[in-house]
Amino acid sequence: MDRKQIRSVPIRPEEITPKHIYQSRRQFLKNMGFVGMGALLASCAPGLTPPDELPTGLPTDFRTDNMNNLLTSYDAITGYCNFYEFTTDKETVDEKAQDFVTSPWSVAVTGLVENPRIFTMEEILEAYEQEERIYRMRCVEGWSMVIPWMGFPLQKLLEDVRPTSEAKFVLFESALVPGQMDNANSDLFPFPYLEGLRLDEAMHDLTILATGLYNEPLPPQNGAPIRLVVPWKYGFKSIKSIVRISLVPDQPPTLWNTIAPNEYGFYANVNPDVDHPRWSQATERRIGDAGRIPTLFMNGYAEEVMPLYEGMDLEENF
Ligand SMILES: Nc1nc2c(c(=O)[nH]1)N[C@H]1C(S)=C(S)[C@@H](COP(=O)(O)O)O[C@H]1N2
Ligand SMILES: [Mo]
């Protein structure tokens, strides 16, 4: 495929959340007996517009969709998850994470910054206007989704804490709550889950901190109340339920890169030409669709992100 043809494709606001998905989800949850008052209240929280009334004035620069114009359903996005602190079984993460306490919550932003700060979640939502970003998400395991996130550019938060000139990388840390996460003391994973970006990657317009999806607050299984989304990288970079962001001078150790450096590179840019040692990365299964589709270089965001990697050997720095 000619990579020049891969561009971000605009999507019409009215396509974003067909009313029937929104309603059928409620019915589904009710039938399953999942919905406590808390969940109902959260999804009707003030300030969140019901998806079927989504205003057309939302920022649209990064509304991109997949090759066949379909969003992954809310049920699939929230029912098929990777969140290893709870379980390695994708289909029961939602149940296991159901009682994860995500309020009150705060995020410490520390390290090489002039203005270190602990933000409460309320302060974050107040300070940074939430916008919609529809992104492809490609897991390193070979499946993908198209997800309508709500969030804001990480760049805005980083600018507010003013990284010093020594800051070159950003380290992110997930919450680790053994009493609430069944797999927290796993021998296989050296939790807390850590991830990192080079500072210029973290400052890129496409990099967001997400606080919602389908215009509702993030559910715990998707990384409530705040998680990273870096759409041109494999999904494992998009760390969930963040409690700390540190500006650091050197490339930080990260969970997957520490466990298996030959399989999971620090950069982890989606690249159909660089296979995982145990499987091809040339194609992917779009959840909800039959068959496989070609994986796009940089997950379809090459035009936007290639300037970050000028002169870099992408096979060596995979
Ligand atoms: N803390 C934490 N963050 C995580 C993970 C995890 O296990 N723990 N899994 C990662 C992986 S492998 C993927 S593919 C995405 C999945 O995000 P989703 O479940 O919201 O689709 O989250 C990433 N972030
Ligand atoms: Mo993943």
pLDDT at 290: 87
Q: How confident is the model at residue 15, as a pLDDT?
A: 34
pTM of the prediction?
A: 0.83
Asked whether the predicted pLDDT for residue 56 surpasses 70, the reply is: no
Q: Residue 293 has what pLDDT?
A: 94
CA 229 to ligand 1 center in whole angstroms: 10
Quick one: which atom of ligand 1 is closest to the CA of 175? 1
What percentage of the chain exceeds 70 in pLDDT? 78
Is residue 84 within 6 Å of ligand 1 at its C-beta? Answer: yes
Residue nearest to atom 5 of ligand 1 (CA): 83
pLDDT, tens digit, 9 for 90 and up, residues 242-271: 999 999 999 999 999 999 999 999 999 999
> Which pLDDT belongs to residue 272?
98
Q: Which atom of ligand 1 is found nearest the CA of 147?
A: 21
Q: Quickly list DSSP for the chain.
A: --GGG--PPP--GGGSS-HHHHHHHHHHHHHHT---HHHHHHHT-TTPPPGGG--TTS--TTB---TT--PPPHHHHHHS--BTTTBS-GGGHHHHTTT---SS-EEEEEESBSS-EEEEHHHHHHHS--EEEEEEEE-TTSEEEEEEEEEEEHHHHHHHH-B-TT--EEEEEE---TTT-TTTT-SS--SSPEEEEEHHHHTSTT-EEEEEETTEEPPGGGTTT-EEE-TTB-GGGS--SEEEEEEESSPPP-HHHHH-TTTS-SS-B--TTS-BTTB--SEEEETTSSS-EEPPGGGGTHHHHGGGGTT--TTTT-
Query: For 261-286, what is the mean pLDDT?
Result: 97
- Residues 174-208: tens digit of each pLDDT: 999 999 999 999 999 999 999 999 999 999 999 99
Domains in the chain with CATH codes: 3-309 (3.90.420.10)
Q: Does ligand 1 have an atom closer than 6 angstroms to the CB of 226?
A: no
What per-residue confidence (pLDDT) applies to 33? 36
Q: Model confidence over 135-177: pLDDT tens digits?
A: 999 999 999 999 999 999 999 999 999 999 999 999 999 999 9
Instruction: Give the mutation target among 238, 270, 299 for probing the ligand 1 site: most ligand atoms within 8 A of CB.
Output: 238
| Res 4: pLDDT | 35
